Chains A and B, each alone.
Chain A
Amino acid sequence: QKEVEQNSGPLSVPEGAIASLNCTYSDRVSQSFFWYRQYSGKSPELIMSIYSNGDKEDGRFTAQLNKASQYVSLLIRDSQPSDSATYLCARGDDKIIFGKGTRLHILP
């Protein structure tokens, strides 16, 4: 059973545009959802956490959670070349279950 699903990409977005990353999950129990960024050969870096339905904004990042639809998304505004990475959607209240990640490529 796949628990966290993401499109593997690559998703190519022009510099300055909005990048939209999506994720669905199958577990209705988890209360905590996360977006991690992972550069090639590096460890996951927590960029957003969200626990309640609706939007949560932090700088250029907005996470959206819809528990009824079991859907989480991440919007990156004013995309920069340094945003090029793999974005991991994850859920979990103790152990974290990760998706396979979406590769994002920002085109200069």
Chain B
Amino acid sequence: EPEVTQTPSHQVTQMGQEVILRCVPISNHLYFYWYRQILGQKVEFLVSFYNNEISEKSEIFDDQFSVERPDGSNFTLKIRSTKLEDSAMYFCASSGGGAYNEQFFGPGTRLTVL
């Protein structure tokens, strides 16, 4: 069964450093998403991406964040200058679109900012 994959599974970085989180969505999906979950809190939407551009972004997704689809398979989230409060699980999701937008999540990357 096709699945979303993410790398790395765990990333530790120093405050102020740049990190890139990588995702390979399900191969025939067209809609891509990033969500995050701070420990003990709910899953929060960050950004949606379709047709090589951002469709929607949340208030969390400020100028420190960017997304890119550098080739036909990868979808990346970059945080330019990490803060302590960026520590969270980051989930990539993809959807085939259609009327009901079922989204399938990857296993996540745990980001720890020291």
Interface residues in chain A, defined as those with a beta carbon under 8 Å from any beta carbon in chain B: 31-32, 34, 36, 42-46, 49, 51, 88, 92-101
Interface of chain B: mostly helix, strand, loop or mixed: strand
Say whether A96 contacts B45, CB under 8 Å.
yes
A43 to B107 CA separation, bound complex (whole angstroms): 5
B108 contacts chain A at the CB level, 8 A cutoff: yes
Interface residues in chain B, defined as those with a beta carbon under 8 Å from any beta carbon in chain A: 31, 33, 35, 41-45, 48, 55-56, 58, 89, 91, 93, 99-108
How many interface contacts (CB-CB < 8 Å) are there between A and B? 57
Say whether A101 contacts B33, CB under 8 Å.
no
**CB nearest to A4 among chain B residues:** B42
Q: Which residues of A contact B105 (CB under 8 A)?
A: 36, 43-46
A46 to B25 CA separation, bound complex (whole angstroms): 15
